[in-house]
Structure 1
Amino acid sequence: MIDIKAATKSFAGKNGDFKAVDSITLSIQNKEIFGIIGESGAGKSTLMRFINALETPDSGQVTVDGTDVVTLGKKALRQHQKDISMVFQHFNLLSNKTVKANIRLPLTLHKYKTPLSVDEVIEFVGLDDKRDSYPAELSGGQKQRVGIARALVTRPKILLCDEPTSALDENTTDEIVDVLRRAQEEFDMTVVIVTHELGVIKQLCRRAAVMERGRLIDTIEVNRSVRGRPELSYHERVLEVLQDA
């Protein structure tokens, strides 16, 4: 269970401080695929980074499995972060390392109790024939598969995905969505997806938080049978695409 209560985070901007996250309260269930959606600058990534304590709120509480992560000491924080993996928008692969070496990287930095094998995750994401290739030799979708495999190899309890498909075309996006869905089912994780792409949320999530200018506008149940009209406002499109508004 992930519980965020009245969390607020401000940053300095050109015109003074602004609230990237403004008094947000929400809960994410264990082993749920939960979406956080909103346009650019809505505060989605900042909110997600509260979960692995890469950002800490100025006020409020962030609790993961009953532990307030804001109050963790260094040793406990390291252990907390080892239980969480991330998938990034721009893959974050090391260009001078092969697919296999990129996936193995987390295992060379820390010890994990029950990691998966590199070969197992390579096979899971469908890159058996690319294990000795370098990132420059891969397509965007293949690079993201490497990123997912690297995130899975530590066998995380929570997988955070920050715009995992926004650099990909539509067909490749569908492929990556399928990999993420299978990963959650196979490895029994809680998955949090930050995106502005409504189609990704519709395919993956049962619930989603809608953010706008740092505020939580709505938390909705996703109806996967509904399509939207682009002339509506963002929030109206969210409701029409993801619900039956």
Structure 2
Amino acid sequence: MNALPCCVDSRTKASAIDESKSVPVLCCVFASGAEARIHIIQQKQGPAMRLNAVHVTNFRSVEDSGKFNVGNMTCLVGKNEAGKTALLSALYGLNAYGTLIYDKTRDYPRRFVSDFDERHPEGRSIVVNTSWVLDHIDVAAVAAVLGDKALIKPEIGLTRGIGYEKKEWDVPVDDASGASVLDEQARARRGGARGAERRGRREGRRCSDRRTTPTIAASASVAGRPHGVP
């Protein structure tokens, strides 16, 4: 996500947050009187895929957040223990620094931990499901591999949860269009390889002819000399 976490005191003037910069900002307001604070996650400027929507389920105090959109500034407002920190922690785990993984005992809602196996026979439970809007660089990267018509829309899904070894990607592509481009690329590579092989064989024959011709000429010359002439 390339996010930069920081904190801003609730008494900070609104002008301190630069709204002119079109970068997504996620805020978490901790309403606790004079100690209220706003936690901000702001993406670095420059081309990057943008977080568009989040859905958190079965993570600590959050059983189901429902899907909510994330704009240039999104505030999570609620009482203490309402689940604001849990939402941010779930989102952080999607692409955490280091080797953080969601843990069944630590992160699954405590009142349902004993029922985990019954509720999730496959041993996996989604924690965070997100959608991201691709920037022009990412769209061009996909087009370079699968062609201009393969990507159905410039939006992908990223999901991770308990029992997941890594995050899972959902990229909406036209299978037929992408397969056609890949087939063309494969045929071009095979044709290029065959052409290089033919050129190599021709070059090998020319080298062989250059090596054998003087030997034949010398043999003919020796064969035509009188006996005893060196």
Q: TM-score, normalised by structure 2?
A: 0.25
| More RCO (CA 8 Å, sep 6+) | 1
